[in-house]
Structure 1
Amino acid sequence: MDNCDWCNLSEEDKQFQVYESKSWSVFLSDEQDYIGRCILVLNRHCNSLSELTDDEWDELRNLICKMEACLKTVLGATLCNWSCLMNNFYKESAPNPHLHIHVRPRYDKPIVLNGSTYTDSEFGHHYALNKGAVIPVKDKEEVFSRLKGWLNC
């Protein structure tokens, strides 16, 4: 689809792709307000969950299980919050939604990356919107390396 950002990713946009299956691609989010936050993107243009095929649903279920196991194993996540919120697409005058799902790992203990400690200060509560947390590039690359290594072995 010509005017869809997800359908027209550049190679630079794909630099933090940690996994790809037949129907789904997984990207480490630019926003690491929750360490390990990822976005699962359907590989075809689709407007909503209700339009998924049976095969895409099955693959999504398996991918959710795989992602949770990965995030718990390599980063020590306690649980994962999942969201499919398409609201931002409808801020445009001509909305063109592309189905994607966010996963926000949550931690009951601090996580340490390259000597830096990150604490989930809202653990046990809803995730905070617009936290604006920025982590150093080396820490983001460390998260990327851990996830990609586990998911692709």
Structure 2
Amino acid sequence: MKRCEWCNLSEEDKKYLLLDAKYWTVYLADEQDYIGRCIIVLKRHCGSLSELKDDEWMELFLLIKKYEKCIKAVFNAEHFNWSCLMNSFYKSPEPCPHMHIHVRPRYKNPVVINGNTYVDSNFGHHYSRGRSEQMCSKEDVQTIYGLLKKWLNS
């Protein structure tokens, strides 16, 4: 679909590809306001969870298990916030929704990356969007990506 941003990702947008499965791709979000935050995107155009096929659901389930295990092993996440809101697609007069899921790992304890300490100050509460005070440097994002990619491909 020409108007769909997920169907038309640039190579720059794909630079943080973590996993490429049969039905889904997993990208590390370039904004790391929660360490390990990622986006899981369905490879075909689809506007709702209710439109997923059985094979897509099964693969999503397996990806969820794998990603949670990875983040717990690499960064000691306590739990995860999963969201499939898709509200921004409906701002357009001609909506073009595409199934994707945001994953925000949550941390009881601080996470240290390259000597920088990141604290989940809202732990135990709903996540906050755009926590600029907790945004990782480009170097730290690269480190996060490298550690996760290594674990996921081992």
Q: Give the TM-score of the pair, scaled to structure 2.
A: 0.96
Alpha-carbon displacement from aligned partner over 1:81-131 (angstroms, at most 9, x marks no partner): 101001111111111000000000000000000000000000011101232
- Equivalent residues, number: 153
Residue 100 of structure 2 corresponds to 100
**Structure 1 segments (4+ residues) deviating >3 Å:** none
Provide the rounded CA distance (Å) in 2 between the counterparts of 1:55 and 1:110: 37
What residue is the counterpart of 1:139 in the other structure?
140
Which letter does structure 2 place at the counterpart of 1:2?
K
Q: Identify the residue that residue 67 of structure 1 maps to in structure 2.
A: 67
1:15-42 per-residue CA deviation (whole Å, 9 max, x = no partner) reads 0011110000000112211111000000
Aligned to 2:21: 21
The root-mean-square deviation of aligned C-alpha atoms, in Å, is: 0.9
Q: CA separation in 2, counterparts of 1:89 and 1:7?
A: 13
The one-letter amino acid of 1:135's match is: C
Distance between the aligned counterparts of 2:31 and 2:140, measured in 1?
12
Question: In 2, distance between residues paired with 1:63 and 1:55?
Answer: 12
Structure 1: give runs of 5+ residues left out of the alignment: none
Question: What corresponds to 1:89 in structure 2?
Answer: 89
Structure 2 unaligned blocks of 5 or more: none
- Aligned amino acid, residue 72 of structure 2: K
Q: Among the aligned pairs, what percent are the same residue? A: 58
TM-score by structure 1 length? 0.97
- In structure 2, the partner of 1:51 is 51
Write the distance in 1 (CA, Å) between the matches of 2:150 and 2:130. Answer: 29
